[in-house]
Amino acid sequence: MRIEFRSDTRGYILALERDLFGAFVLVRRWHGLGNRRGGVKREVFLHEDAALRELKRIERLRVRHGYRRLEE
């Protein structure tokens, strides 16, 4: 699962993946649209429902901070 957000000057990507051991990894990537600044954060969850709750929490937070969700 991958969700992408944009504001006027910034981009943000959330991706939920599985690793080789069966754990769920929530990957956050942020970047500037006009520069190379950005970063990555990975969180490991043992249960899918916990990972999905965190993904939804971050999604609400991004929208509250002025990001728009891009439709695929």
DSSP helix/strand/coil, 46: coil
Q: What is the pLDDT of residue 30?
A: 94
Q: What is the pLDDT of residue 36?
A: 81
Residue pLDDT, tens place only, 6-46: 999 999 999 999 999 999 999 999 999 888 899 999 999 99
d(CA 37, CA 23): 29
Would residue 20 count as lying in a domain?
A: yes
Q: Which residue range is the domain that position 32 belongs to?
A: 2-67
Q: What is the pLDDT of residue 71?
A: 78
The pair of three-digit structure tokens given for residue 42, joined into one six-digit string: 């990975």
Q: What is the pLDDT of residue 41?
A: 96
- Total of domains in the chain: 1
Kindly report the CATH number assigned to the domain that includes residue 32.
Answer: 3.10.450
> Taking a C-beta distance cutoff of 8 angstroms, is the pair 13, 4 a contact?
yes
Q: What is the pTM of this model?
A: 0.86
Q: What is the pLDDT of residue 35?
A: 87
Would residue 12 count as lying in a domain?
A: yes
- Contact residues for 70 (Cβ-Cβ < 8 A; gap 6+): 4, 5, 6
